């Protein structure tokens, strides 16, 4: 019985874990430095933006800031325009309604998700 309870708890927790990765095409603000774009600020933790942690997300109804910033961070958040990494650099532009291909680099798959808005 104890073994079954441990497996059940592990299954529920594993379902709620967020993965590590970054959007590389088009590059997200936190990863622009990887492409030697002038003015881009190095962000060596661009694979681990986790919205402030699962506990923070859960307590706020699963809210997440732009590009994985914590919803509770003061504005402008690091990845928002005018934030630490949002220097007004536009990596790519698209026509409204376009269908585009994206490239995501997953560095550790913990069953997380990417959401496009």
Q: Is position 26 within any domain? A: yes
The verdict on residue 104 lying in a domain is yes
Asked, for residue 113, whether it belongs to a domain, the answer is no
Helix (H, G, I), strand (E, B) or coil at 103: strand
Q: What is the pTM of this model?
A: 0.69
Query: Does residue 117 belong to any structural domain of this protein?
Result: no
HSE toward the beta carbon, residue 38, CA cutoff 13 A = 0
Instruction: Show the domain range for 70.
Output: 2-108
Per-residue pLDDT of 51-72, as tens digits, reads 888 788 888 888 888 878 899 9
Residue 95 lies in a domain: yes
What mean pLDDT is predicted for residues 90-95? 92
Q: How big, in percent rounded to 5, are the helix, strand and coil portions of the chain?
A: 25, 15, 60
Greatest alpha-carbon span in the chain: 59
Predicted local confidence at residue 73, as pLDDT: 93
What whole-number distance in Å separates Cα of residue 62 and Cα of residue 75?
18
Q: Which of 57-61, 76-80, 97-101 has the lowest mean pLDDT?
A: 57-61
Q: In whole numbers, what is the pLDDT of the chain averaged over residues?
A: 80
pLDDT at 6: 41
Percentage of the chain modeled with pLDDT above 90: 37
Residue 69 in any domain: the answer is yes
């Amino acid at each position: 019985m104890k073994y079954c309870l441990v497996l059940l708890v592990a299954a529920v927790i594993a379902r709620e874990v967020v993965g590590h990765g970054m959007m590389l095409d088009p590059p997200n603000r936190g990863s622009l430095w990887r492409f030697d774009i002038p003015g881009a600020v190095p962000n060596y933790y661009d694979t681990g933006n986790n919205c402030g942690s699962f506990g923070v997300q859960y307590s706020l109804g699963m809210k997440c800031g732009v590009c994985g910033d914590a919803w509770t961070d003061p504005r402008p958040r690091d990845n928002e325009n005018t934030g630490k990494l949002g220097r007004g650099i536009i990596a790519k532009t698209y026509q409204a309604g376009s269908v585009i291909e994206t490239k995501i680099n997953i560095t550790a798959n913990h069953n997380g998700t990417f959401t496009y808005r």
